[in-house]
Amino acid sequence: MRDIRTIFIGKKSFFVLIILGLFVINAIWLVPTLRSTRASASVFAFTVAERIQSEINGSLQTALNETTGVAGEVAEEPLRINNAFKNLLLRNPIFKSVALVDQDGKELVRVDSSGPLPPEKFIDQLRNPSLYLALQGAPKFGLPVISSNGELSMTLAVPVPKKGEFIDKVIIAELNVQNLLSIIRSPKIGQGHAYVLDRDGVEILNPDPARILKHQNFSSRSIVKKILVDEVTADGLAPDDGYVNDVGEDTFTVGIPVPIVKWGVFVEQPRAQALAGERQTIILAIVTSLLAIIIFLVIASSITKLRELTMQLEGANAKLEEFDEQKSEFVSLVGHQLRAPMTVIKGYVSLIMDGTIKAGTKKEQDVLEKVMSSTEQLVKLVSGLLDLSRIESGKIKYEFVRGDFTKMVHEVIDKFRQNAERKKICYFRKIS
């Protein structure tokens, strides 16, 4: 019982080792493949984010450069303000209107695509936070807003340089940034999308304008803190880069800052979609492992059956050897048992034939000779059985000698003569 239990435990341990080996082999190719899949997903999403960031940054940088250039013209030639503003509107359709504002927030000049506007169309800029930053010498972009007609716009405040004195005038341009929506809508990201957050983590650009109106704040997300606070990129590979979005999907997300406005561009995809290749690879690894286990079990079962058949064959061979030994003993025993009476018969017939015991007629003498011959044949047959037994046991050696073939033929014919005469069979001897 202990041996059976030991064998069972041994087979179980071997099976566990095989399973562990399969998992190790799978891990050797699976781990690098999964890393490659994630890296590919990261590269794709990050490329999309970089393109969006580049286009937004380029569009806003162009507007800033042109507005800064006009501010320089206004500082040098104050009387040509209207012309400078008209030229700006003509050069770049992103500009909806341009205004010159004093330090109290009052507009001094406003020009739109129709030309200079009357004072009653001026806007009070006193509550515009961009005004005060510009008065301190720093250009400032306002936040995008959606107008009643669905247009997306934002403001840009640029200081008018003044040598040796405090800045007292600012140019505030209203920008039509509808193209920014086109920028974030253009990439094909499957079920994912791109969006933009301002420096406070509020969503300001989204392919769905309804979401912009919600002004949702996502500053609590780890990836948002990386982009807006630490001002570093996020490739989506860090464990805290992903999050569960507002519709309950686990996401794969990358992000990149927009330096000119300190915004953040994010590309969000459902993790199941972005890392679909990862799941397929895992399924493939599981299937190959199961197939390997099944093949191993089939082979192990075949080996076990082969061992059982081998043991049965060995048992059968042992029994055959035992039977063969018993047969040899039986032949030897029978041979000895038959040889003893044959020797006695032969002895008595010899006594009659050599005259020690008187025989009857000549015919009786012939009969006795035949009995003697048959007895000798029977003795030879018994000797043959004993020789066979010795041959099988390896106790006999062959010794070949010359014999009289003619004599042997006569003996065989004489042996079967009586039976032939009784059955009226005639035969002739002819030896050449």
- Tell me the CATH number at 152: 3.30.450.20
Across the range 223-230, mean pLDDT stands at 94
Structural contact between residues 145 and 152, judged by C-beta atoms closer than 8 angstroms: yes
Across the range 109-127, mean pLDDT stands at 92
Task: Supply the DSSP symbol for 430.
Answer: -
> 213 vs 194, 203, 216, 376, CA distance in Å?
16, 9, 8, 129
Residue 392 or residue 165, greater confidence:
165
Question: Alpha-carbon distance 92 to 156, whole Å?
Answer: 14
Q: pLDDT value at position 171? A: 95
Hey, which bits of 209-330 come out as E strands?
251-258, 263-270
Residue ending a domain, choose from 218, 245, 274 = 274
Lowest-pLDDT range of 222-231, 240-249, 261-270, 309-318:
309-318
Read off the pTM: 0.61
Residues 156, 213, single domain; the answer is yes
Residues 316, 261, single domain; the answer is no
318 in any annotated domain: yes
Residue 411 belongs to domain with CATH number: 1.10.287.130
Structural contact between residues 226 and 24, judged by C-beta atoms closer than 8 angstroms: no
293 in any annotated domain: no
Contacts of residue 68, Cβ cutoff 8 Å, sequence gap at least 6? 139, 158
Residues 318, 263, single domain; the answer is no
Lowest-pLDDT range of 205-209, 250-254, 269-273, 344-348:
344-348
136 in any annotated domain: yes
Q: Which tens digits make up the pLDDT trace of 396-428?
A: 666 777 877 777 777 777 777 766 776 777 777
Residues 215, 341, single domain; the answer is no
Q: pLDDT value at position 190? A: 79
Q: In the chain, what is the straight-line distance between the N-terminal and C-terminal CA atoms, in Å?
A: 77
What's the domain count of the chain? 2
430 in any annotated domain: no
Question: Alpha-carbon distance 213 to 144, whole Å?
Answer: 10
327 in any annotated domain: yes
102 in any annotated domain: yes
Q: For the chain, what percentages of helix, strand and coil (3-state, to nearest 5) are there?
A: 60, 15, 25
Give the confidence band of 1 by pLDDT, cuts at 50, 70, 90.
very low
Element (DSSP H or E) covering residue 262: none
Q: pLDDT value at position 5? A: 46
Question: Alpha-carbon distance 121 to 403, whole Å?
Answer: 150
pLDDT of 430 over the 80 cut? no
Residues 98, 154, single domain; the answer is yes
Residues 252, 332, single domain; the answer is no
pLDDT of 64 over the 80 cut? yes
Hey, which bits of 233-361 come out as E strands?
251-258, 263-270
Most confident by average pLDDT, 33-42, 365-374, 387-396: 33-42
Hey, which bits of 242-382 come out as E strands?
251-258, 263-270
**Which residue range forms the structural domain that includes residue 94?**
2-274
Q: Which tens digits make up the pLDDT trace of 77-111?
A: 888 899 999 999 998 888 999 999 999 999 999 99
> 271 vs 10, 64, 109, 215, 248, CA distance in Å?
44, 38, 52, 25, 12
49 in any annotated domain: yes
Residue 339 or residue 305, greater confidence:
305
The average confidence (pLDDT) of the chain is 81
Residues 116, 239, single domain; the answer is yes
Nearest C-alpha neighbor of 342 from the set 364, 313, 366, 373: 373
Across the range 273-296, mean pLDDT stands at 73
Residue ending a domain, choose from 274, 298, 326 = 274
Across the range 275-280, mean pLDDT stands at 72
Residues 145, 221, single domain; the answer is yes
pLDDT of 222 over the 80 cut? yes
Residues 384, 264, single domain; the answer is no
Q: pLDDT value at position 300? A: 72
> 308 vs 1, 303, 313, 315, CA distance in Å?
18, 9, 9, 10
Residues 87, 168, single domain; the answer is yes
Residues 270, 316, single domain; the answer is no
Give 104-113 contacts, CB < 8 A, sequence gap 24+: 105/131, 107/172, 108/169, 109/81, 109/82, 109/85, 111/82, 111/85, 111/86, 113/89
Residue ending a domain, choose from 274, 298, 322 = 274
Question: Alpha-carbon distance 321 to 328, whole Å?
Answer: 10
Residues 196, 85, single domain; the answer is yes
Q: Which tens digits make up the pLDDT trace of 36-51?
A: 778 888 999 999 999 9
Burial class (CB in 10 A: 0-12, 13-18, 19+), 172: buried
284 in any annotated domain: no
Q: pLDDT value at position 217? A: 93
Give the confidence band of 4 by pLDDT, cuts at 50, 70, 90.
very low
